[in-house]
Each structure stands twice: as C-alpha cells, then as structure tokens.
Amino acid sequence: MTHPFLDLPPLSAARFASIEDRVARLLGTGQDVVITQGEALLPLEGAIRGAAGPGTTALNVITGPYGQTFGDWLRDCGATVIDLSVPFHTAVTAEQVRAALAEHPSVDFVSLVHAEAATGNTNPVAEIGAVVREHGALFYLDAVASVGAEPVLPDAWGVDLCVIGAQKAMGGPAGVSAISVSERAWARMAANPRAPRRSYLSLLDWKERWIDGGRRALLHAPAQLEMLALEACLERIEAEGPAAVTARHAAAARATRAGVLALGGGLRPYVHEAAEAAPVATTLRTPDGVAASELVARALESDPSLPLAAGGGALAKEMIRVNHYGPDATPGAVQSSLAALGAALAERGLDVDLHGARRAVEGAWR
C-alpha cells in the first residue's frame, strides 16, 4: 500500500542545497545558509555554543522568554552576560541598545529576538543592527516568529547569525529550521576552541564538511518529510509573493487589534503600542478575574480550529494569543476568533459589541 508519508526515497544533496538556496532568497542574503534538521532551538543553541565562550562579553536583550533562554546558554558557555530587559508589553529601542553598548564597551556579541510569539512584540532590528554594526559586535537574531510574517533581511540589517523556523508564519512543521551565517561569524566559531565539533549542535561541521566541500555530500541522512515540507512552504510563499504574505500578516494583526478595541468586554491588546506589536500573533490581556486559559477553552469549544492559545506559563492567567500563522492570517480567521472570544465574554456577563468588532476588523483589514 502506498502512503504519502512512508517509503520516501532519500533526498539528494542537490535537492537539499536547492532548498538552502531558496531560504537564502527569502532572506535576501548572500551569506551561507545551513538548514538544520530539528526544531529551531537546535541552530539557536548551536550558534551560541559555536560563537560564544569564556572570552565573550554578550549583551543579551530580553523582550520575552526566549531572550532568557539565550542568556542561560551564554552563561553556560562561560560568557560574561549583560542583560538588557524591557517589559514584555513593549519592544526594545535602538537607543536603549546604544546606551547599553556605550556603558559596556567590551561587548562583542549581541543577542536579540526579532518577534516573540509568546509575548506578541516585535523589535526594530534594522535600527538596532545599525547600532550593533557601529559598535562592531557580532549580531545574533532569533527570527523564528518573524520570518514569513514580516521582512527578515540579515544582510541589510547586519545580522551575522539569523535563525528561522518553519513552524510559525511559514505554516510548516516544527522539525526543520535554518540559519544564515556571515563570514565574521564563521571566523569567530573557527577561533573558538569550545565550539561544538563532531556534534549534532555543530555548525562548523556543516561549514567544513558540507559547504567547503561544495555541498556534494550530506553529513547524515536528510529528514525527507521535513525538507519536503520546508520546500513546500517556500514554494507557497514564492507563489503568493513575499510582500503579499507579509502584508496579509500585518493586516491580520492590525485588524485583530482594531477588532478587540471595538469589542470591549475588558479585553485589550497586551502590547501597548501598535508599532511594537508583532504581525505573527496578537496578544491580548484578559479582564481582571477572567482566566485566559478558561476563556480560550470556551472559545475553542465552539470551534476547535480557531488559532487561539492561552499564554505560556504564568501568562496563561492573563494572556490570550490570536495566532496569524500563514493560512490563519485571513479576515475569516480573525473574525471567527473575535466572535468566539466575544461570545465567551458575554456568557460571563461582560458587555461586548460583536457587531462593532466585526465592522472594525473589516475597516482595518483594507
């Protein structure tokens, strides 16, 4: 019996390389792109362990839970870490980064998350990149939640290590990710005696055995399903046009925000400034006394396919996420999500304007 997922032929090195080239095109980068066969934490951790060591002084920008994780890895590598934290309902500014670098001239590594799906904020990477470049530090960026939802341009922004994943706005599986690596970043890793080698976490292995060898022989058997799915994600984005895809995500975020403000019922945008709200997901704060996880559970009872989730960890009490991942960045998904949340709020006796919310979404989408 044939099955679409089973008995797949091995993916050729040429096909693997062509998918890397398509990722490079999406990112507008001339840097080396390595596709990593694992969830995005694989290249995120591999890049830090490769580039950072006891001689590193890192400025770690924390705008959500992922920034905290990066700080832990950096410390574990022996780096001196300066944390720059901002409240999760805001973004960091280039001025804040500039001030931190001026205060700590020895910083030679800056880590930043572009957009945080977990908190719903997005940071001005282009402006921050200019500041980091001027200082001369290596610039590491987690663009997992931004790629496909907003432009991600490592070369234009001076990013040395840019990690993406397929599972958010690209609408793909969680088991495949990629990283673009600048010449400077390769040199930093090559000079780091503690950089992983002969290890699944090693990016240098891919540089030396795959890229420098002309991308003719893969290091191990490629994960066919994930690679084919990543290729399909890229094809779909290319077919719609990257600008149209990011415009659709921006419209979804704008419309959700407008709809929530019109809906009322005590629900409000979690990120205070619209310009700091991520196009990949709109986070909402629930009214006092209404547990976000319960409201989401009630809304999902009416339609389990809605792109709604409660915040993770402690945020489950007060945060709702309306995800705009790929095919969910549509007027229909936004309308249905707000209608279901509105109905759940009304059940609790809160005053909501469902009609106003609907009109606000329509108006903001245009």
Ligand X SMILES: *Cc1c(COP(=O)(O)O)cnc(C)c1O
Task: Give residues in contact with ligand X (CB under 6 A).
Answer: 39-41, 66, 113, 116-118, 142, 144-145, 165, 168, 174
CB of 162 to ligand X, least distance (A): 12
Q: Please, which residues have CB within 8 angstroms of residue 239's CB and are 6 or more apart in sequence?
A: none
Q: Among residues 26 and 278, whose Cβ is nearest to ligand X?
A: 278
CB of 8 to ligand X, least distance (A): 24
Measured CA to CA, the distance from residue 228 to residue 24 in angstroms comes to 17
Q: Among residues 118 and 315, whose Cβ is nearest to ligand X?
A: 118
Q: Among residues 167 and 192, whose Cβ is nearest to ligand X?
A: 167
Tokens of 64: 């959500």
Q: Looking at the DSSP assignment, which residues form a beta bridge with residue 140?
A: 111, 161
User: Which DSSP category does 287 fall into?
Assistant: P
Place of tokens 């940071």: 123
Q: Among residues 165 and 279, whose Cβ is nearest to ligand X?
A: 165
CB of 151 to ligand X, least distance (A): 16
Q: Please, which residues have CB within 8 angstroms of residue 18's CB and are 6 or more apart in sequence?
A: none
| Residue whose beta carbon is closest to ligand X | 145
The helix (H) or strand (E) run that includes residue 47 is helix 41-51
Q: Looking at this protein, which amino acid is placed at residue 364?
A: A
Q: Among residues 117 and 252, whose Cβ is nearest to ligand X?
A: 117
Chain centre distance of CA 335 = 24
CB of 217 to ligand X, least distance (A): 29
Nearest to 293 by CA among 307, 308, 272: 308
CB of 41 to ligand X, least distance (A): 6
Q: Among residues 64 and 158, whose Cβ is nearest to ligand X?
A: 64
CB of 115 to ligand X, least distance (A): 7
